[in-house]
Amino acid sequence: MTDLAKLKLAFKSDGTTTAVLLMKRSVAIQKGLPIIGVFRYDIVVLLNNC
């Protein structure tokens, strides 16, 4: 987490952002972070113009 704090800002300082951080449950528990969601599936659908 401390490494993330070192990253340069990619957004306007007066704007709003929403961030999602995915990690293994074991890593979150090790770092004392709350489990607020579970990623179950990853589905990608590509459609041609029909």
In tens, the pLDDT along 9-39 reads 777 777 777 777 889 999 999 999 988 888 8
pLDDT tens sequence across 41-50: 777 667 766 5
Q: What is the pLDDT of residue 49?
A: 63
Domain region containing 12:
1-50
Going by the DSSP 8-state scheme, the letter that residue 9 receives in this structure is P
> pTM for the whole thing?
0.45
Q: Which amino acid is at 25?
A: R
Residues 8, 2 contacting (CB under 8 angstroms): no
Residue with the larger pLDDT of the pair 40 and 23: 23
Q: What angle (nearest 5°) sits at the alpha carbon of residue 4, between those of residues 21 and 18? A: 45
Q: What is the pLDDT of residue 30?
A: 96
- Catalogue the long-range contacts made by 6-11 (C-beta closer than 8 Å, 24 or more residues apart): none
Domain total in the chain? 1
What is the Cα–Cα distance from 40 to 26, expressed in whole angstroms? 16
What is the Cα–Cα distance from 21 to 4, expressed in whole angstroms? 11
